[in-house]
Structure 1
Amino acid sequence: MYKTYLFLHIFFAIVWIGGMFFNVLFLSPALRSAKEECRQDIAPKVLGKFFMSVWLAIIILFGTGMALWHAFRPDFSTNPLFHLKLILFAIMVINFIYIHLFLYRKRLFSQIPVFVGINLILGTIIVLIITYIR
């Protein structure tokens, strides 16, 4: 069961972080150079599908993370870096909720890459932290 939880946890972290990487470095610059009508047509379609995968990733990451922590790595409870990781994950989730429920729904597509970039930095820091505490 450990390997299954670990696989799901890593896979959905890759989905979320990889999607943010794609959004910030490839999609946003391409949309900036596109015509306004094209941006208003493509952005909601691409982001809508990506955001559904992020909601799923958040649920899976939380569930598998709790299972991995409590069942297999209770020693993380005393590690301050692990608690920092949890705080950063919470900030990422709150930031994503703002992106999805406010910016996306108000169609403020030009502001989304800034907040996605913040989450990309936080996600990268989390990967760095978890690499060092394993």
Structure 2
Amino acid sequence: MDYKAYLFLHIFFAIVWIGGMFFNVLFLTPALRSASEDCRKEVAQRTLGRFFLVVWLAIIVLFTTGMALWHGYRKDFSQNPLFHFKLFLFGIMTLIFIYIHLYLYRKRLFSSIPVFVSINLILGTLIVMIITYIR
């Protein structure tokens, strides 16, 4: 694979993950507040179940394409502390997602999920800001 293919996949899956969080926090969660409890749980179960499968894929693709881009094309990032901070934030986002999916979602604690998704949305936005700055 060449640089542009890795870069496309990396940016595409970052958009999918961050865009999904944006949609969840700013549109889906507020819209569901006026729905009945049963409706909220059913919509959350179905919507998040599908989204979380894509997030797992996004994490795998972001990690693999990120490593390929770093080691194959941007070795200069090794010297940049902001890049290492970005990697740290990605790790934190991944851990938060694992907590959301493996604990909150499986225990059907849907009302707690938007708080953690909001945290990940902020971290994801910060990563975009960092990578834009250091590019």
TM range (shorter): over 0.9
1:9 alignment counterpart = 10
Q: 1:79-113 CA distances to partner (integer Å, 9 max, x unpaired)?
A: 00000000000000000000000000000000000
- The SS at the match of 1:123 is helix
Q: Percent identity at matched positions?
A: 77
RMSD: 0.4
CA distance in 2, matches of 1:61, 1:9: 5
After superposition, what is the alpha-carbon deviation per residue over 1:6-33, rounded to whole angstroms, capped at 9, x for unaligned? 0000000000000000000001111111
Residue in structure 2 matched with residue 95 of structure 1 by the alignment: 96
Give ranges in structure 2 of 5+ residues lacking alignment: none
Alignment of 1:1-134 (within 5 A): 1-134=2-135
TM-score by length of 1: 0.99
AA aligned to 1:66 is M
Structure 2 residue identity aligned to 1:91:
I
How many residues align structurally? 134
How far, CA to CA, are the matches of 2:96 and 2:72 in structure 1?
Answer: 29
Structure 1 unaligned blocks of 5 or more: none
TM-score normalised by structure 2 residue count? 0.98
Q: Distance in 2 between matches of 1:40 and 1:21?
A: 19
Partners of 1:54 and 1:40 lie apart in 2 by 20
